[in-house]
Structure 1
Amino acid sequence: MPARTLQLRNFTSILEDIQIRFQAIAEKAISGMTMPTTESEQLLKDIRTTQQTILQRCQKRGCQPADLSDAGYRGFLWLIFLSDPDHFKQHLQFLSRFLQEWKAKTHRVVSVRMYNSPFVFQCKPGRDGYTVTIGEGFVSADPQTVQILVDCSVRSNRRNLTQLRALSRSAAYKRIMELIWQHSAQSSRSTHGNYYDLQQLFHKINAEYFQNRLEQPRLCWSSRRATRRLGYYHPDTDTITLSCYLDQQSIPPYVVEYVLYHEMLHKRVGLKEVNTYRLAHTAQFKQQERKFQYYEEAEKFLKWFTRT
C-alpha cells in the first residue's frame, strides 16, 4: 500500500480534551462565575505545546506536517489557527454565544465542538444529550448565524438548513477556512508510492498543460483501494487524492497521469453554482479535459477497467 502518512498516537483524545476544556471555560463565562484567566492561558499554552511537539516529531522522521494522515493534518492546522491569541479568543466567544442561545431555547444537555471538521455541521442525539459539531469557519459568526446553528440543532427544517448551506458558502466562512488551510511543504513520504510519485507527476503535468501556473495542492494516496472513484479534489482543503489502486505496475503511466490531470483541472476550473447546486463537469471542463494527450487511450482503458 503506497500511503505512508505519519500517524500520531493519542491525538484524537488530546483534541477531545481541548474541546472539553474550551466548553468548560465558556460555560463558566456565561454563568457569571469568576474565572481565573490562568485557565484559558493554560489551554492556549497547551495548544501551542502540542503543535510544537507535532512539528518536532515530523522533523525527527524527516517529513512535514502535510505528510500526516488526513485526520492528523486537520487537527494540526486547527491547532495552528488557535495558537493565535485573537483566534483563540474568537473561538471562546463563539462557544459562549452558542451556549447562551442554546440554553435560552432548550434544557437539553449539549456538548458543542467547533473544529476544522470535514463537514460544516452535525448534530447527534445520545443518551447523555446532544453532541453538536460545527465547522471552524463559523467562528466569526454574527448573532443571527449563531441562532440559525442552534435552530438547526434543536429543530432542523428545510428553511434553516437552506440558510445554513448558504452561510457555509459565504465569503466569511471561506475566508476563515482559507486561513486554516495554509499548507505546509510536503515531502515524498506521503506522495511516493510503490510505482508512482504524485509530486513528480504533478510537476510534469503542471509544466505540460498549465505552464507551471497551478499552485501545488496537498497530494495524497487514498487509504483504501477504491476502484470506482479513482481520484477526487477537495476545494475546501485544496487536496487531491488518488486511489492507491492506481499505484501498481499493471496500470499504464498515462492512465495515472490522466486521473491526476482530471483532478488538477477541477482545481483550475473550479465549481459552477446553479440553483444552490455545485456543478463540476461543465462544458468548459470537458473541453479542457480532451486536451490531455492520451485522452482517448486513457478513457478506453478506464472503461475496460471498470467492466473487469
Structure 2
Amino acid sequence: MSQQNLWKDKNGGRPRRGQLVLGELPAGLHLSVPEAQALHKALEARLGAVVLVLTDNRRRMVSARRMGTRIELRAHHMFVGCEAEVIDALARLALRAEGLNEARATIRDYISRNRDTIRFEVDEDQLQARGRVHDLQAMLDRWRARFPVEELADIVITWGRYGRGRRSIRFGSFDFDRRMIRIHPVLDQAWVPDYFVEFVVYHELLHALFPPRQTATRRVVHTPRFREMEARFPRYAEAMAWEQHNLPRLLDR
C-alpha cells in the first residue's frame, strides 16, 4: 500500500496540530523520541491533527477515537519505527476507511512480528519454585551457570497446577511472553528422580535458546538444533527410558 494522505482540510487552511504523549510509558523504557516524533508527523500527514498516545498496554495494542477536530490514536510503543505500510494501516483503522480489513491484517501481522517488545510482568510472590521434594530454582540456577547467556538471564520458574485431563500429561511448558517455565506438580514426588525433573527443566530452557521457526507450511517447535542440544543432557537416555517406563504411573495420579 503506497503512502496516502487520507485526511483533507475542509477549510483549505493549514492542519491543526495534535500532540505526542509519552507520559504513559514506564520509567526506564528505552524509546527513540525522534522516531516517535517521526511516527506522529507521518500520522498527521495522513489524518490531520492527531493526539498520539504511546502506551505499554499489553491487552490492546491500538485504539482510536475522534475528539472534535482531532483523532486520538493510542498505540503500543512497538509501532515506533514501523514502516510506511503499517502507518497507512493505522491511519485507515483510525478513520474506518476503505480497506479496513486489509489494514487490520497488516497491523496483526506487525504485532505478531514484534511480540518480543510486549512486556509481561510476573508477580514473583506467586512463584513456587521449591516443592515438597524437588527444588526447581536450584535446577534452573545450575543450568544458567552452565549457559551464562542473555537469553536465560530473565527466566523464572514455578510449579504449575494439576489439570483435569488424565489421558495425557505435559511435564513442562515455557511461556515466551512471561519468560516463565512451569513444571507439572505430578513430578514433585519422592519416587520421581531428581535427574528426570532436571531434564524437564533443561528441555524448557532450550525453548528460550532455540525458539520455534516458521516454515512455509508449518511451525517447527523442536528444531534440529533443539533436538541435538536436548540429546546432550548428561542422563538423556536414562531420562527417556524412565519416562517410558513410568508414564502410566504418572497418568494415574
TM bucket (normalised to shorter chain) is 0.5 to 0.7
State which of 107, 111, 129 in structure 2 corresponds to 1:192: 129
Structure 1 unmatched runs, 5+: 1-29, 48-77, 105-110, 125-130
* Contact 2:159-2:182 within 8 A present in 1 as well: yes
- In structure 2, what is the equivalent of residue 32 of structure 1? 17
The alpha-carbon deviation at position 219 of structure 1 amounts to 0.8
Question: How many residues were matched structurally?
Answer: 215
**2:150 is aligned with 1:217:** no
- In structure 1, what is the equivalent of residue 188 of structure 2? 248
State which of 126, 139, 154 in structure 2 corresponds to 1:201: 139
Percent sequence identity is 17
**Cα RMSD after superposing both structures:** 4.9
- In structure 1, what is the equivalent of residue 241 of structure 2? 296
CA gap 1:260/1:272 in 2 versus in 1, 3 angstroms: same
* Contact 1:232-1:241 within 8 A present in 2 as well: yes
- In structure 2, what is the equivalent of residue 269 of structure 1? 210
CA gap 1:202/1:223 in 2 versus in 1, 3 angstroms: closer
Output the CA distance in 2 between the equivalents of 1:138 and 1:267: 25
State which of 132, 147, 167 in structure 1 corresponds to 2:110: 167
- Bigger relative CO (Cα 8 Å, ≥ 6 apart): 1
The one-letter amino acid of 2:26's match is L
Output the CA distance in 2 between the equivalents of 1:223 and 1:101: 48
Higher helix residue share: 1
CA gap 1:143/1:198 in 2 versus in 1, 3 angstroms: same
Q: Deviations over 1:123-165 (max 9, x none)?
A: 79xxxxxx987543222224431222454674653x5455445
The alpha-carbon deviation at position 201 of structure 1 amounts to 0.5
The one-letter amino acid of 2:85's match is Q
CA gap 1:32/1:95 in 2 versus in 1, 3 angstroms: closer
- In structure 2, what is the equivalent of residue 79 of structure 1? 26
What TM-score results when the alignment is normalised by the length of structure 1? Answer: 0.49
- In structure 1, what is the equivalent of residue 200 of structure 2? 259
Structure 2 unmatched runs, 5+: 1-14, 65-71
**2:55 is aligned with 1:114:** yes
The alpha-carbon deviation at position 231 of structure 1 amounts to 2.9
The alpha-carbon deviation at position 224 of structure 1 amounts to 4.7
Q: Deviations over 1:74-107 (max 9, x none)?
A: xxxx61344x6x5567557656765885789xxx
Output the CA distance in 1 between the equivalents of 2:34 and 2:213: 35
